[in-house]
Amino acid sequence: MTDLDQTHPAIADLRLRARRRLPRFVWDFLDSATGAETTARRNRGKLDEILFNPAALFGELDYNLGRSLMGRDYALPFGISPVGMSGLVWPDAELHLARLGTARNIPYCLSGVATKIPEDVGPLTDGRGWFQLYPPRDAEIRDDMLRRVKASGFDTLVLTVDVPEPSRRERQRRGGITHPPHLTPRIFGQCITTPAWSLETLRAVRKNGMPRLAFIEDYTGQTGAMSSTAHAGYMIRTSPGWDYLRALRDGWDGPFFVKGVMVPEDAVRLKKEGVDAVWVSNHAGRQFDGSPASIEVLPAIREAVGPDYPLIFDSGVESGLDILRALALGADFIMLGRAFHYGIAAFGPKGAAHVVDILARDLQANLGQLGLPSYEGLAAKLAHPPAP
Ligand SMILES: Cc1cc2nc3c(=O)[nH]c(=O)nc-3n(C[C@H](O)[C@H](O)[C@H](O)COP(=O)(O)O)c2cc1C
């Protein structure tokens, strides 16, 4: 058996293999950002600028890589970000990733625009699943969705607020993806060159039909008289206000997080409104190409909300070292979206499991360089602490 850690020791290796194995329209859907993709590159560049002072002669370390969030102990300080149409990247990805999260005791967040419904995935999360919602316009539909999400075994609700409009995603458009995917001659031509993905997907399509926005489509057709409003885009593409936030907060019994926050004042207000954790993210540069890197805004958000308020972080994380960087700048917990999908596209479910191993090993390797057995004291190791 091949030792993946020998042949594919970094997320970058999985990315390269995923790129070869996915038809172009799927690859461009997974990998593209918006505009000139400057913010996506900036996420990477700004993480690389964060440096630590290595330590020497500190004796043996007894590592503890675990991390708790909201009173819950996780084996590692990271989890799996919500990715819409995850099952297009690899059939049943949502089920595989939910099982992986449970098996390794890390959180998995199911997207509200996934190819699986909450009832398929919730039971695999051991009552600890996170569910991400794009806010439905219709309050009745929203309430029914939340009832189903809760009954399926999800306990944490995540509201994403950085998609007030669909973004351009020019590269994704050029790749030719449509919703739902159609087998045009062009897409067919792409699929011929990627037999592993195509055969696996064909098998799944025979069983379950084309990958689609399964949860949303349970409700299309229910938005009243105007058929032009009865489609997925209309139902969920809305820009909620503070009243909407309160309705969600009051209607959800369990931890409630808000994802896509980049401004300290917003984070402070969300804290005041009773949101349990703020998720600092620029959606991996997929929404707004004029945004700072999410790591750039993290210190100011930490400063604004105080030392004890839970902050989650994502966008551009590719290694254990990146995770340490975000922890050092004030994050409590780190999430990764594309990395797990590069893994599953590259090697199926074992590729996603390999991502957990890569990150865990890299965490320990780099903590060792800092002379730290755990994440306590990381900030003091920064070579250039951020200006207050
Ligand atoms: C293909 C793709 C689909 C995504 N779909 C969603 C989604 O449905 N809901 C959401 O809140 N974020 C979504 N995101 C954003 C991720 O949750 C996450 O913020 C981002 O991927 C983190 O950056 P990373 O991929 O560099 O780890 C998506 C990201 C990708 C790459």
If DSSP codes are grouped into helix, strand and coil, which group holds residue 31?
A: helix
Ligand 1 pocket residue status of 163, Cβ below 6 Å: no
| Active-site hit among 8, 96, 182, 283 | 283
CA of 265 to the centre of ligand 1 (A): 23
Ligand 1 atom 13 nearest Cα = 83
Asked if residue 383 belongs to a domain, the reply is: no
Asked if residue 64 belongs to a domain, the reply is: yes
Enter the pTM of the model.
Answer: 0.96
Asked if residue 382 belongs to a domain, the reply is: no
Ligand 1 atom 15 nearest Cα = 283
- Find out whether 161 and 259 touch, Cβ atoms under 8 Å: yes
Is position 182 annotated as part of the catalytic site?
no
Task: Residue 254: give its domain's CATH number.
Answer: 3.20.20.70
Task: Report the C-alpha gap between 63 and 61 in whole angstroms.
Answer: 6
CA of 83 to the centre of ligand 1 (A): 5
Asked if residue 381 belongs to a domain, the reply is: no
Asked if residue 363 belongs to a domain, the reply is: yes
- Count the domains in the chain: 1
Select from 42, 83, 335 the residue to mutate for testing ligand 1; criterion: most ligand atoms less than 8 Å from CB: 83
Asked if residue 386 belongs to a domain, the reply is: no
Asked if residue 11 belongs to a domain, the reply is: yes
Query: 219-229 burial, b for 16+ CB within 10 Å, e for fewer?
Result: bbeebeeeeee
Mind listing the pLDDT tens digit of every residue in the chain (388 residues)?
Answer: 579 999 999 999 999 999 999 999 999 999 999 999 999 999 999 999 999 999 999 999 999 999 999 999 999 999 999 999 999 999 999 999 999 999 999 999 999 999 999 999 999 999 999 999 999 988 999 999 999 999 999 999 999 999 988 899 999 999 988 877 888 899 999 999 999 999 999 999 999 999 999 999 999 865 554 455 567 777 776 788 999 999 999 999 999 999 999 999 999 999 999 999 999 999 999 999 999 999 999 999 999 999 999 999 999 999 999 999 999 999 999 999 999 999 999 999 999 999 999 999 999 999 999 999 999 999 999 998 666 5
**Phi, psi (5° rounding) for residue 155?**
-110, -15
CA of 205 to the centre of ligand 1 (A): 24
Task: Report the C-alpha gap between 355 and 350 in whole angstroms.
Answer: 9
Summarize the chain as % helix, strand, coil (round to 5). 50, 10, 40
**DSSP-assigned beta bridge partners for residue 78:** 334
Asked if residue 36 belongs to a domain, the reply is: yes
Print the domain residue range for 363: 4-376
